[in-house]
Amino acid sequence: MIGNIGNAEKAEILMQALPYIKKYHKQTVVIKYGGNAMTDENIKKMVMGDLVLLRQIGVNVVLVHGGGPEINDALKKMNIETEFVGGLRKTGADAISVVQMVLAGKVNKDLVNLIELCGGQAVGLCGIDGRMIEADFENKELGFVGRITNVNPKPVLDMLEAGFIPVVASVGCDKKGNVYNINADTVAARLAAELKAMSLINLSDVPGLLRDKNDPSTLIKEVNVSETLKLMNEGIISGGMIPKVKCCVEAIRRGVKQVFIIDGTVEHAILVEMMNDEGVGTMFH
C-alpha cells in the first residue's frame, strides 16, 4: 500500500504515472460496472474512489452499470419468476417495472451517493432521460428486453461539461413510452462510441480472456478484433463471455480506440490498467 512506503517512492510512482495522466487528460473513458463485481461493498467503494481520482486529474469519466443480483433479489421478494434465454432475462410487464425501479432508482442512486462520499460529484441518469437510449423489442418472446435503435449522448455530454461523473443505468425507452431492460455491456459499447471515447473498460469478475478458464496464468493480454471469431470457434470465448466480447468488438468497430476486460475485484484495477503498459486484463484493438 502506498501509505507504507517512503516519500521518495511515492514521488517516483507519481512521476511514472505522469505520461499516462497526460495521455488521458481531457479524454473520455467509459467504465462498465455490473454483476458480481458490484457485490463487495469495500471493492465498490475502492472502484468509486478510483473514478473520483481519474476525474480529478482531468479524465472525463462515464459510469454505465447493470445490477443483475439486485434485480434477482427484488423479483424474488415480489414472487416474480426469473427466466433466462440465451443469457438474456425474460422481462414481462411486471418485471420491467421492478427492473426500472431497481436500476434507475436504488442501484443508480447508491452509486451516485458512494461517488460523492469519496469526494466526487456525480449525477444519476438512465436511458430514458433525454431519450438518451431509444430501443425496440429485441425479441417479443423475451418481453421488454431492448435492442438499441438510437443513442443521444447530449445528457452525458452536458453533465461532463458541468464537471460531474454521469452514472447511467441500462434501461431505455421507445417513442410509445415503453421501457426496456437493455444489456449494460451493449449500452456501454454504444454510448462509448457516440461519446468518441478513448477507452471502454469492462469490469468483470474474471481476469480477462483465458486460454484455460481454470488457469489465470493463461491470460490473453491483447486481442485484435479480427481474431475473436477464431477464439470463439476454439471455445476460448464461450458462455457469458460471448456477448461481452461481441460488445467489445462493436465498440472498436464504431471507433473506440481501446477496449478492456479486467477483473474489477482486484484492488485499483482501473488505475493499474490505465497507468501502466503491462495492465491487468485483456485489451481489444
Looking at the annotation, which residues are catalytic? 32, 35, 68, 185, 244
How far is it, in rounded angstroms, from Cα 247 to Cα 185?
Answer: 6
How far is it, in rounded angstroms, from Cα 145 to Cα 151?
Answer: 16
Q: Three-class SS of residue 169?
A: strand
CA 264 to centroid of chain Cα atoms: 10
Q: Tell me whether strands 165-169 and 60-65 are parallel, antiparallel or unpaired.
A: parallel
How far is it, in rounded angstroms, from Cα 32 to Cα 65?
Answer: 6
CB 77, CB 44: distance < 8 Å: no
Q: Three-class SS of residue 96?
A: helix
How far is it, in rounded angstroms, from Cα 163 to Cα 185?
Answer: 25
**Residue 75, C-beta contacts closer than 8 angstroms, at least 6 positions apart:** 81, 82, 95, 98
How far is it, in rounded angstroms, from Cα 225 to Cα 249?
Answer: 6
